[in-house]
Amino acid sequence: MRGRRPVRARGVAPAARRPVVLVYNPDEAAAYAKTIRPPRGRAVTIHTAATEAEAAAVVGEVDIVYGWKFPASLYARAPRLAWQQVMGAGVDWVFVPELPPSVVVTRAPGVFGAWMSEYVLGWCLWVTQRMETYRAAQREQRWRGELLPARLRGATLALVGMGDIGRTIARAAAAVGMNVIGVSRSGQPVPVVKRVYRVGHLHRALAAADFVVLVVPLTSETRGLIDATALAMMRPSAWLLNIGRGALVDEAALLEALRARRIAGAVLDVFPKEPLPPEHPFWRLDNAVITPHISGPSTPDELAPIFNDNLARWMAGRPLRHVVDRRRGY
């Protein structure tokens, strides 16, 4: 780490210097920059960058990165960087070996759960209301009055991951009468969740579920968590919804389980390689739904209060909120 500043106390802004913020986002850097509000009477310098080359031109003077997938190669050229506010729900991409230990990383809890709850309930209802079937019948002008929808009320939803997003989904699912169970490292009770299993008992939760939702962070412990054995524990009528990270699931095992109809289907929003390549077999499976990583979008207006609150804290030398525990990886 030659040439870097010594590690400062967390959240302490450099005195008597106007902080420099780099907003890094390939599509919407300007929109995020517009929402930055330094505390009254104080000012910050704001740069925006949509590409690595644009960021490289200014990164040497930057104190704060407000970013989405900031390029790892730039850390070595950012000697002042002290704090990075992540724009997305997951932080796995930040913890690359190049990230200097002195950089504090903060996340944005409370933003994504509401979106993801609607995604989860929407796709569960798509299954139980047999939306695809009735639409197909409509195309054939067939009246399928013999086929009834199923009830979501009483169906069991297993949430693998009981962080703030998992808890928000749990409340939404319980509100429509679903029987919500969960899986977490600690197995600690969570309001509205009927039973929380420790991760060592994951298979029990899988065996009890009509819908399994993966919303756990990707860490060395959760990579490949849903392997062939886990999939074999699921009911043949159950659906897997992955809104966490593609690498939580053993892709070959899932493909095999879907092809053999060992589970009813999968709704997949995340993949180890994104965009999902056109030749990928998932596209052609009638029991797989593919969505393009949209279950929990980041929007400048929703993230602004979190960033601006932390900016005020940083400029006042107060501890930041929502600091990621680097050891745990979330």
Q: Is 24 helix (H, G, I), strand (E, B) or coil?
A: strand
Tokens 């808890």, located at residue: 167
156 binds ligand OXD (CB under 6 A): no
Closest CB to ligand OXD among 61 and 274? 274
Does 89 participate in binding ligand OXD (rule CB under 6 A)? Answer: yes
Phi first, then psi, for residue 107 (nearest 5°) are -110, -175
CA angle 186, 191, 194 (to 5 degrees): 80
For residue 191, count other CB atoms closer than 10 A to its CB: 8
- Of 106 and 298, CB closest to ligand OXD: 298
Only segment of 136-144, 179-187, 292-300, 322-330 that touches ligand OXD (CB under 6 A): 292-300
Two tokens, residue 207: 């065996």
Assess whether 142 carries a catalytic annotation: no
Q: Does 296 bind ligand OXD (CB under 6 A)?
A: yes
* Residue 245 among the catalytic residues: yes
DSSP class of residue 39 equals P
* Piece of the chain touching ligand OXD by CB under 6 A; list 52-60, 83-91, 233-241, 303-311: 83-91
d(CA 225, CA 322): 26
In angstroms, the CA 76 to CA 129 distance is: 53
Task: Tell me how far, at minimum, the Cβ of 242 lies from ligand OXD, in Å.
Answer: 12
Q: How many residues at the interface with ligand OXD, by CB under 6 A?
A: 6
Should residue 90 be labelled a site residue for ligand OXD when binding is judged by CB under 6 A?
Answer: yes
Stretch that binds ligand OXD, among 85-93, 192-200, 230-238, 313-321 (CB under 6 A): 85-93
In 3D space, the residue among 249, 175, 252 whose CA is nearest the CA of residue 212 turns out to be 249
Asked if residue 88 binds ligand OXD (CB under 6 A), the reply is: yes
Q: Where are the beta strands (DSSP E) in the chain?
A: 20-24, 45-49, 64-67, 83-86, 104-106, 156-160, 179-184, 195-198, 211-214, 239-242, 265-268, 288-290
Does the footprint of ligand OXD cover residue 67 (CB under 6 A)? no
Give yes or no for residue 248 binding ligand OXD (CB under 6 A): no
- Determine, following the binding rule CB under 6 A, whether residue 161 of this chain makes contact with ligand OXD: no
Q: Which of these ranges, 88-96, 115-123, 188-196, 314-322, lies near ligand OXD under the rule CB under 6 A?
A: 88-96
Active site residue 274: yes
- CA–CA dist 272, 279 (Å, integer): 14
Q: Provide the binding-site residues for ligand OXD, judged by CB under 6 A.
A: 88-90, 293, 296, 298
Active site residues: 245, 274, 293
